[in-house]
Amino acid sequence: GVSDAASSDLAGGYDLITVFEAFHDMAQPVAILAELARLLGTDGSIVIADTKTSERFEVPPTDAFEAYHYGWSIMQCLHGGLQGGGAGTGTVMRPETLRRYAEAASLGRIDILPIEHDSWRFYRLFRDERPTLDSAANRPSASPSSRSSSSTPRAGRRRCSSAACTR
């Protein structure tokens, strides 16, 4: 079945929750991350794919693509993110901003995944501390004693995206 990710009666136990090109628009990012963390299963994680920007603010922007994102932020994303006293993250969300939100939501670790893409940066968040990925080998750099290595889906497990959850 499919469920609304905003449903208050949604139970936890998800292996993976995804948010694609939407997190920077959310007015209450810490509350959203805390709720997503509550829905995770023991070995679950959250993957956020969002706009790829430079690591830090620079004037003028280092490339035309970043200036383009500022335009979108002013015209659309920042406005929505300020609604109801929101954080106002906007399109140009830097990795450090997401790290601060994750820490405030009591998430134990955030990784930038080694996925090359011109427009998006991919993050993976965990509730607890995990071994970090060795980006060259794309494997854990420390022994993941509490982590399941199975890559095949288990029967009956739920999957959740930014819009809906499925079983």
Query: 68-110: per-residue pLDDT in tens?
Result: 777 777 777 777 788 889 887 877 888 999 999 999 999 989 9
Comparing C-alpha atoms, which of 34, 22, 43 is closest to residue 164?
22
pLDDT score of 34: 94
- The letter for the amino acid at 36 is L
Name the 3-class secondary structure at 98.
helix
Write out the two tokens for 54.
Answer: 């430079």
* pLDDT of residue 155 exceeding 50: no
**Cβ atoms of residues 3 and 163 within 8 Å:** no
* pLDDT of residue 151 exceeding 70: no
Q: Which residue has the tokens 């991350």?
A: 33
Comparing C-alpha atoms, which of 51, 50, 6, 2 is closest to residue 28?
6
